[in-house]
Structure 1
Amino acid sequence: MKHWLMLHRIAFASTLKLFASNPLASGFNLLVIGVAVALPLGLMTLVDNLQRLSGRLPTEPEVSVFLYTSATPADINRVRALIGTLPDVTHSTHIDKRQALRDLEESSGMRELLAGLSDNPLPDAFSLTLSTAEPEALSALSNRLKADPAVEAVQLDSEWARRLAALVRLGRDLTVVIAVLFGAGLLLVTTNLIRMQILTRREEIEVSKLIGATDSFIRRPFLYFAGVQAVLGSAIGMLVVAIILQQLAKPVDTLAALYGEHFNLMLPQPAFLLTAMGSVVALSLAGAMLSVRKHLRETD
């Protein structure tokens, strides 16, 4: 056990020596890995925050039915009766135009300006909750409502929420594709970096083999180098994403406040970040293994 620990301690010390021997190149390599991690991680963070936002939006289909401003109480009752006959409507609420005007006066702060209007510019409306989101059913319902002469417009309020959910799904698929591409690139970059390290230590490796060093002994420092480089590069990528989120946090919250909401940008869960770092380490170790194995076969 002591011998095993000593071998790993020697390998780790050799790794630190590799970093210290050329700090400029090592820093550049870490930056390359950090960018390769930051791009897919940043996209995933954006998609994750969009998903949190979409989860706070109404997912049940909702329809707003606006009547003409000239609609009479008889028109309103007729439309209410028509809505009652629609099978896909689970709940309906009548929004009286007088109450709507009072609410607008209170929320807008323009009470005096609105009070000077001779006529109420707002129409009576109905808010409907539906049991289906099938396009054919929604189209049929809209046509039946618009057929009434008192109905001016029919608006599907939750359509944009479903579009946002579809955008989130597309973003996740796109993130997977980009992560795979950057993962393949990281594998190739690590393989090339380790090959360069091997070339700079060719004579040392040859001497070690002459005095009886095993392949695992020769391979170990390069695996440590790849692993440490992957961990540090991943940390840099996550730090870059965190800094960008911090810079965007205030503008996003200000924008959300205009819609009466409070929304904070957040990094993905720690478990996901650890998984991402583990994936980067695994790819780096795989690249190092391929490069060292190829060199050892060539020198046998």
Structure 2
Amino acid sequence: MKHWIRLNWIAFQRTLGGIVRAPLSSLLNLLVIAIAAAFPLGFYLLIASAQGVIGKLPVEPQLSVYLRTSVTADEINTLKQHLQADTRLAGVRFIGKDEALKQMQASVGSGDLLAGLTDNPLPDAFVLTAHTDASPESLEALQKELTASSGVDQVQLDSAWARRLQQLIAVGKGLLQIILVLLAVALVLITGNAIRLQILTRRDEIEVAKLIGATDAFIRRPFVYFAAMQGVLGGLLACAIVWGARTWLNPAVEALARSYGQQFSLALADWRVVVVTLVVTTLLCLLGASLAVGRHLRQFR
């Protein structure tokens, strides 16, 4: 056991020594690994941030039907019965002008805002909820039918955009999976190429070690440690890059969201995301190192 620990400690020291002797090339390798890992990490955090906001949006397609100010009670009742009998609608809710005024005063937080008006300027309205499987064509046809109805001033289709946004997030998730696969292959190739260059520069040393009886495990160990250190440090640097980009972009993103009356900010990676990033980058680097070392060790036999 002590002998095994001693061999691993020697390999670890040799790895550190190699990094110290070539700091520039080691730093360049770390930057390449970090940038490759930062892309999917940042894209994942962007999707997670957007998905958190979209989860609060209504996904059922809704239509707001605003009535004319001259509409009569009979016309309202007739339209209500017609809407309740429509099989395309899952819910019908009538909002009178007085109720709408109260909701508006509550939302702005001031009861004196409309005190100077002699009449209520808000119209009566219906809020219609369509079935979730309703097609955009059927919703547009319903919108045209209601616009032509007696007493109707305007019909606005509200929540269809939320469903489109959800579909866009689904596309983003698929794109994230493709990026993860491509960058995983890139990390394996990058690490394998770095290990291959190290093996070529130490070829004479490896040949002498094989002649005096060094095992494959002894020769492989420093390269494995180097790949593991590159993976861990590259993952940490990737998290730092994403954190810096988030800190730089967040004020502009929050200001843009506020201009649309929304609250949105880019999410910060928690410790679990950081751990997963470190584990994945380390495993990919180890895979690249194992492939490169195994291929070259077979040439020394």
TM-score of the pair, normalised by structure 2: 0.87
Contact 1:60–1:131 (CA under 8 A) maintained in structure 2: yes
Counterpart Cα distance in 2 of 1:145 and 1:6:
83
Could you tell me which residue of structure 2 aligns to residue 205 of structure 1? 206
Contact 1:253–1:262 (CA under 8 A) maintained in structure 2: yes
Could you tell me which residue of structure 2 aligns to residue 14 of structure 1? 14
1:30 shift after superposition: 0.5
1:152 shift after superposition: 3.3
SS in 1 for 2:63: strand
> How many pairs were matched up?
299
Counterpart Cα distance in 1 of 2:113 and 2:286:
71
Could you tell me which residue of structure 2 aligns to residue 4 of structure 1? 4
Residues 124-174 of structure 1, C-alpha deviations (whole Å, 9 max, x = no match): 211123344321653564455334222233323211111111111111110
Contact 2:143–2:157 (CA under 8 A) maintained in structure 1: no
Could you tell me which residue of structure 1 aligns to residue 268 of structure 2? 267
Could you tell me which residue of structure 1 aligns to residue 61 of structure 2? 61
Greater alpha carbon shift after TM alignment, 184-193 vs 148-157 = 148-157
Greater alpha carbon shift after TM alignment, 31-40 vs 179-188 = 179-188
1:295 shift after superposition: 1.6
Counterpart Cα distance in 2 of 1:47 and 1:211:
55
Contact 1:61–1:133 (CA under 8 A) maintained in structure 2: no
Counterpart Cα distance in 2 of 1:193 and 1:208:
21
2:201 partner amino acid = T
1:53 partner amino acid = V
- 1:176-255 alignment runs, 5 A limit: 176-255=177-256
Greater alpha carbon shift after TM alignment, 153-162 vs 255-264 = 255-264
1:255 shift after superposition: 3.8
2:9 partner amino acid = R
Counterpart Cα distance in 2 of 1:119 and 1:104:
15
1:92 shift after superposition: 2.8
Residues 167-215 of structure 1, C-alpha deviations (whole Å, 9 max, x = no match): 1111111011111111111111111111111122122212211211001
Counterpart Cα distance in 2 of 1:101 and 1:160:
26
Could you tell me which residue of structure 2 aligns to residue 290 of structure 1? 291
1:247 partner amino acid = W
1:102 shift after superposition: 6.3
State yes or no: 1:124 paired with 2:124: yes
Could you tell me which residue of structure 1 aligns to residue 91 of structure 2? 91
Could you tell me which residue of structure 2 aligns to residue 25 of structure 1? 25
Greater alpha carbon shift after TM alignment, 223-232 vs 277-286 = 277-286
1:234 partner amino acid = G
SS in 2 for 1:191: helix
SS in 1 for 2:190: helix
Greater alpha carbon shift after TM alignment, 125-134 vs 192-201 = 125-134
1:6 partner amino acid = R
Greater alpha carbon shift after TM alignment, 263-272 vs 40-49 = 263-272
Identity, % of aligned positions = 44
Could you tell me which residue of structure 1 aligns to residue 80 of structure 2? 80
State yes or no: 1:45 paired with 2:40: no
SS in 1 for 2:65: strand
1:120 shift after superposition: 6.0
Could you tell me which residue of structure 1 aligns to residue 282 of structure 2? 281
Counterpart Cα distance in 2 of 1:112 and 1:54:
31
Unaligned runs of 5+ in 1: none
1:217 shift after superposition: 0.5
1:38 partner amino acid = A
Q: Residue 283 and residue 23 in structure 1: after superposition, are their counterparts in 2 closer, same or farther (change >3 A)?
A: same
Alignment root-mean-square deviation, CA: 2.7
Counterpart Cα distance in 1 of 2:140 and 2:260:
29
Counterpart Cα distance in 2 of 1:261 and 1:112:
22
2:202 partner amino acid = R
1:239 partner amino acid = A
2:221 partner amino acid = R
Residues 279-300 of structure 1, C-alpha deviations (whole Å, 9 max, x = no match): 2222211111121122222222
1:54 partner amino acid = I
Counterpart Cα distance in 2 of 1:17 and 1:169:
47
